[in-house]
């Protein structure tokens, strides 16, 4: 085959374009840190990459749900602690007021503090997390209790759930009537506090002694729900640990598919730049040769 000058020039330009294209690809990989810039860079790898990204995105949502659950339950835990403290103080005051030696003025002061504790308990019953009421079942946008009617207020019996995997949902909320007592029931904590204040006003010592056992019943009921809150918190923490480990594995697999070996890429880039320089130097010699050179 006869090689002409035009063929040499065309091949030279083709080689230069190839070298420049390879250098640009290496520069893109170094700039982004990713081996796959386009699907045709690695048709098999892009499939794995898309799957890993999808699983990570879904895992992020489950992880966010689990952390929301922990935040919700921590708020409930704090509310339970506050409610327990209120009942402890109410019991101390009731014990003081149930003795026959307490003067009338002191009983009225105790009754006034009991009514303050009642309002505090209502405030606890209306606790919120992230703008949602935590003791009103699925009606998280509605306050479950009011100061005027707390003893007879009915809370939503539903449960607020969070997804922690494609097939698992975990209940987060505990309805107020389970914790504070059924609406209208004599053991309802709001009823108990109201009755204590009234019994102090009327100096009904025998009723006040009975109120002490009613307070204990309220405390026991809250303790049962408190234990449930702790168990659910532990479960969500286990979910967070599991999802965190899974994400670490997925990110490692994605890195193997798509992350650039920076040292190798820099070496390859330097090699291609050297090849380009050699191509340009060689091309300069070829382009300079003409018929005149042979006629000399």
CATH code of the domain covering residue 117:
1.20.1330.10
Q: What is the pLDDT of residues 156-198, one digit of tens each?
A: 998 889 999 888 899 999 999 999 999 999 999 999 999 999 9
- Residues near 191 by Cβ (< 8 Å), separated by ≥ 6? 151, 181, 184, 185
Residue 294 lies in a domain: no
End-to-end alpha carbon distance in the chain: 27
* Residue 259 included in any domain: no
Reported confidence tier of residue 25, pLDDT bands at 50, 70, 90: low
Percent above pLDDT 90 for the chain: 56
Burial of 193 (0-12, 13-18, 19+ CB in 10 A): buried
Beta-carbon contacts of residue 185 (< 8 Å; ≥ 6 apart)? 191
Question: What sign for the dihedral angle of Cα 114, 116, 122, 127?
Answer: negative
Residues 250 and 62 sit within 8 Å (Cβ to Cβ): no
Q: 43-97 and 189-202 are packed helices; what angle lies between their axes, rounded to 10 degrees?
A: 20
Which single residue is written with the structure tokens 């702790």?
230
CA distance linking residue 167 with residue 101, whole number of Å: 63
**Is-contact 154 139, C-beta < 8 A?**
no
Measured from the Cβ of residue 28, the count of other Cβ atoms closer than 10 Å reads: 15
Indicate the DSSP class of residue 39.
G
25 part of a folded domain: no
The beta strand positions in the chain, using DSSP E, are 128-129, 132-133, 161-165, 168-171
**Position 198 in a domain:** yes
Per the structure, the count of domains in the chain is: 1
29 part of a folded domain: no
Quick one: pLDDT at residue 257?
76
Structural domain contains residue 265:
no
**Cα–Cα nearest to 183, from 217, 220, 155:** 155
Range of the domain at 87: 53-253
Q: Is residue 46 a part of any domain in this protein?
A: no
Residue 157 resides in a domain: yes
Least confident of 144-158, 230-244, 270-284: 270-284
């Amino acid at each position: 085959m006869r090689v002409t000058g035009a063929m040499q020039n065309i091949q030279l330009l083709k080689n230069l374009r190839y070298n420049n294209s390879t250098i640009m690809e290496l520069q893109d990989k170094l700039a982004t840190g990713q081996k796959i810039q386009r699907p045709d860079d690695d048709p098999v790898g892009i499939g794995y990459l898309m799957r890993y990204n999808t699983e990570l995105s879904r895992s992020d949502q489950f992880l966010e749900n689990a952390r929301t659950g922990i935040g919700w339950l921590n708020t409930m835990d704090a509310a339970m602690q506050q409610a327990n403290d209120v009942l402890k103080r109410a019991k101390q005051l009731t014990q003081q007021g149930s003795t026959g030696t307490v003067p009338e003025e002191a009983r009225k002061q105790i009754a006034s503090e009991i009514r303050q504790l009642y309002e505090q308990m209502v405030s606890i019953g209306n606790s919120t997390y992230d703008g949602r009421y935590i003791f009103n079942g699925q009606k998280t946008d509605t306050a479950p209790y009011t100061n005027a009617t707390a003893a007879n207020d009915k809370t939503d019996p539903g449960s607020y759930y969070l997804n922690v995997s494609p097939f698992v949902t975990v209940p987060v909320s505990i309805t107020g009537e389970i914790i504070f007592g059924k609406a209208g029931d004599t053991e309802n904590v709001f009823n108990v506090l109201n009755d204590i204040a009234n019994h102090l006003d009327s100096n009904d010592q025998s009723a006040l002694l009975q109120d002490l056992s009613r307070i204990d019943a309220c405390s026991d009921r809250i303790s049962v729900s408190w234990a449930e809150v702790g168990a659910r918190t532990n479960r969500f923490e286990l979910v967070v640990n599991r999802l965190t480990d899974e994400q670490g594995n997925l990110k490692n697999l994605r890195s193997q598919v798509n992350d650039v070996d920076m040292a190798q890429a820099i070496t390859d880039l330097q090699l291609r730049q050297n090849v380009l320089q050699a191509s340009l130097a060689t091309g300069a010699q070829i382009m300079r040769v003409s018929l005149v050179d042979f006629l000399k």
